[in-house]
Structure 1
Amino acid sequence: MTVGFIGGSGIYEALPLNDVREETVETPYGDPSAPVTVGEFGDTGTEVAFLPRHGPNHEKSPTHLPYRANVYALKQLGVERILASNAVGSLREDLPPRTLVVPDGTFDRTKHRQSTFFGEGIVVHMPFADPYCPHMVDHLHESAREATDAETEKGGTYVCIEGPQFSTRAESEFYRSQGWDVVGMTAIPEAKLAREAEMCYATVAGVTDYDVWKEDSEVTLGEVLENAAENETAIKETVERAIETLPEERDCDCGHALEGTINTPVDAIDPDTRERVDPLVGKYLDG
């Protein structure tokens, strides 16, 4: 099997892999953030396809990331499950910096991003009540507990803001009043696109700061980068453990998430659209 790993802030290099190669993947949605590093993880027989979300030198902002190209490229490489990482701010006193959180919910506050593969020529209405694969959430959290000494938290809501600015105090207080747990800039539309590609998807989020709700807390880039660097080892250990112990078969509904969701009659889909979306929904259009 091939597992995708999308590295967030602070993670720009692949896990230790054997027989490494770089794949330059062309997609209908432009170029991915970087060539995909592919190799075998240890002696597991598992192939890992790694992408640094922001590019190798963190040159792409959250708004302008090629989310669709990234997920589509992994799909073309045969990836069925994506493990991701994010740097996030905490909205709870009991989730201090350097805690690892595996969220199971999200709230979308983004404004300027393409969040679907199916915006033109074909309309798809996909259920998204539970944005992260529940089996992968369980597995990733258990892997964090087994592989690291970091404090870990399973579940919670990741509110995704547009950025690249951090929150205002009013916004931060509002997010807390809603009972949300962490705030970041990159979970959406990545999770939506992974579901549209019928991939399992879960993320391990490393807390870097308390946002700006906490008294005497003024989130800065310096603080974020320092704690992201401290979180890097724990996140990689978590992902490595998750890959080592990942079941060969998927036991979830992600692999047929698009079943019954296509609202456009097959004979109304033009050839160019059909070619573009074929890796995603071809099995439904051919039937």
Structure 2
Amino acid sequence: MLAIVGGTGLYDLQGLKIKDRISGQTPFGQASGDVLIGEIGQHPILFLARHGSSHRLLPHEINYRANVFALKAAGATMMLGFSAVGSLRMEIKPGDLVMPEQYIDWTKADRLRTFFGGGVAAHISTAKPVSPNLVQAVVNAGGRINERITRGATYICVSGPRLGTQAESQWLRQMGGDLVGMTNIPEVFLAREAQMAYATLGMVTDYDCWLEDESQHVSALGIFELYGETLAKARDVLDSLLAHALPEPEATIRQSLSHAVLTADDAITPEQRQWLDVLRR
């Protein structure tokens, strides 16, 4: 089942026929909101607003573990996020749609990055952190409606909530980043720990602040000048995606915990076993 995680501006899912609503309470705390269970066309769909229904949560305040766990517990095997991003490359323009395929974690110690620890040890492989099948399906969906989507970008995640300095923006470019955002980490890695195929459709709002032209520097007001139009394009891509058969998640992703958990089963408590069994589904 496909789970949609709505980012800035995407607090509901048009066309979703809601069948049920599941509380976001999990063993890892409270998710950003209830998980909506419904249908769009022929597809069962889950939906969760990352920042809450009224955008009440800053990026570092989001309980990413609870969000991912709640979606997995509701039956998700794939997770498609929507995120506002800044561009670190001239050729990636405000208004573009981009799918990152690599990530660099530049966040600080204000985020819980893993389900594991506290007596359950695991080391998950994230060399290829996103699902090629899901990325290609979204790119194909864009192609069907003549909406170009750039793929293969590297997303650097920063903590926020402040917008960066020019020196920081230039440093992120030197690190090899193509995009900068505040929300995809640890979401992408937690999805892999939950054996879910993950991808993000990034909506480019600005050039961050690496350009010398100060009129191009990111601001909260500037983010929203193009954002409504870009978000509409992203919604059209999603409609195109859901009008066709969805991809199958890769078997390697669906089995990513097979050899990652190091703790012996008889050393795991009943409470730990309950949440671990959900991740292993």
TM-score range, shorter chain: over 0.9
Question: Which residue is 2:261 aligned to?
Answer: 262
Question: Which residue is 2:49 aligned to?
Answer: 52
TM-score by length of 1: 0.92
Asked if residue 104 in structure 1 is aligned to residue 79 in structure 2, the reply is no
Runs of 4+ in 1 over 4 A off after TM superposition: none
Query: Does the residue aligned with 2:59 lie in a helix, a strand or coil?
Result: coil
Q: 1:70 aligns with which of 67, 70, 73?
A: 67
d(CA) in 1 for partners of 2:251, 2:177: 26
1:141 deviates by: 1.6
- CA deviation vs aligned residue, 1:162-218 (integer Å, no higher than 9, x gap): 111111111110111233211000110000010001000001000000000012222
1:158 deviates by: 0.4
Question: Which residue is 1:271 aligned to?
Answer: 270
- CA deviation vs aligned residue, 1:121-161 (integer Å, no higher than 9, x gap): 20110110011111111111221222354x42111100000
**Equivalent AA in structure 2 for residue 144 of structure 1:** G
Question: Which residue is 2:156 aligned to?
Answer: 159
Matches within 5 A, 1:5-20: 5-20=4-19
Question: Which residue is 1:40 aligned to?
Answer: 39
CA contact (8 A) 1:32 1:73 kept: yes
Q: 2:209 aligns with which of 203, 212, 227?
A: 212
TM-score by length of 2: 0.94
Question: Which residue is 2:188 aligned to?
Answer: 191
Matches within 5 A, 1:113-262: 113-147=111-145, 149=147, 151-216=148-213, 217-247=216-246, 249-262=248-261
CA contact (8 A) 2:134 2:247 kept: no
Question: Structure 1 stretch 57-66 or stretch 214-223: which is displaced more?
Answer: 214-223
Query: Does the residue aligned with 2:61 lie in a helix, a strand or coil?
Result: coil
Question: Which residue is 1:88 aligned to?
Answer: 85
Task: Provide the identity percentage.
Answer: 37
- Structure 1: gaps spanning 5 or more residues: none
RMSD: 1.6
CA contact (8 A) 1:148 1:237 kept: no
